[in-house]
Amino acid sequence: MNPSLQASRAWTLPLLAAVAAATLATSSPAAWAEAAPAAAATAEERHALAGSYLLSDGRTLVVAQRGRQLLLTLDTQERPLQRVSAARLRSTDGRLELDFALRANGLVDGVTLRQRGG
């Protein structure tokens, strides 16, 4: 096995477990709406999460910072984002959720997009 993949897994799995344990949100879409809102994203978090991400289906997801707000652009639709945790953002309409894989230094290794309902 590629040593760099092992190192990546060693850092990513504990981080994702900690993020999952630290948030009220679950993978259940109904629970997304029930989760208590978290504090607003800090300037450092907004800066770290902003960027363009190529999804596995070939689409590009863009997280942009506009003032203190983070915005998601996907398929030409722009949606405001709210912070759920340091590594999780959700669209304010509750239809999209982004889970960021963060390194120990706060840089982003990747993002997982989850969509809810049609």
pLDDT of residue 77: 94
Which residue range(s) make up the domain with 63?
3-115
Which residues in the chain come in under a pLDDT of 70? 1-38, 118
- Bridge partners of 114? 97
DSSP 107: -
C-alpha pair distances (Å), 78 with each of 32, 66, 74: 20, 12, 7
Q: How many domains does the chain have?
A: 1
pLDDT of residue 14: 35
CATH of the domain at 86: 2.40.128
pTM > 0.75 = no
